Structure 1
């Protein structure tokens, strides 16, 4: 696919309680409700350009604690609180139209970098013989 065709793509970063991170093509998902498969989502504004969305039904449905989302939130909030179930990170919401914007690929990858720095992850390198 030519580079110009992918330049318009935006993303959301989906984080599960198991520690799975997935980039979602925001152009095809378009709403936090669809990304989380829930009608009740709670926006948590982190910056003017970054929002985390959590499923409000996660606790009543017995979803597990999402320690990975909390670890990532430490980069933005000193006491991020406890979150349950899947969460999705997107760009800001346009207050005039309620349109939720996606993240650029760089923004989404920066979130992954922040997470890895927070947990002091060891990224596998080349094996030595």
Structure 2
């Protein structure tokens, strides 16, 4: 079976690629986000964004990158607060899928190119 991932986007703009487990999805989300209740936001049928369900109420910082990522796929209707984890969509039985290698690559490229982050290149003399 192919290894799948999730993309953690922190409020300071950094991100981390997480291994998506075969089981224990909620534990992975709670640990990555740092919360005890999560909310799922469907970005597309193939992408889900997970956030602290109480993030705005507990004063979590605005997550501009997560808000931008949502807006890159559909018209935004709100801002998102706190750390966000992006996963694949769900199976017909409601199991959350991890991101495929291709989905991960596209998201990272979108995230890096839209944030105007300089990716280091080989140095020349």
SS at match of 2:41: strand
Question: Cα offset for 1:23?
Answer: 0.9
Q: Gaps spanning 5+ residues in structure 1: where?
A: 1-6
Say which of 57, 65, 69 aligns to 1:60. Answer: 57
Question: Cα offset for 1:79?
Answer: 2.3
Find out whether 1:115 has 2:111 as its counterpart: yes
Structure ID, larger Rg:
1
1:1-129 aligned at under 5 Å gives the runs 8-27=2-21, 30-31=25-26, 32-79=29-76, 81-96=78-93, 98-129=94-125
Question: Cα offset for 1:95?
Answer: 4.4
Give the length in aligned residue pairs.
122
Following the alignment from structure 1 to structure 2, what is the Cα–Cα distance between the partners of residues 10 and 80? 29
Distance 1:20 1:119, change over 3 A: closer
Normalising by structure 2, what TM-score? 0.83
Following the alignment from structure 1 to structure 2, what is the Cα–Cα distance between the partners of residues 9 and 34? 20
Normalising by structure 1, what TM-score? 0.81
Question: Cα offset for 1:117?
Answer: 2.4
Which segment is superposed worse, 98-107 or 118-127?
118-127
Q: Which runs of 4+ in 1 moved over 4 A?
A: none
Q: What's the Cα RMSD here?
A: 2.0
Q: Gaps spanning 5+ residues in structure 2: where?
A: none
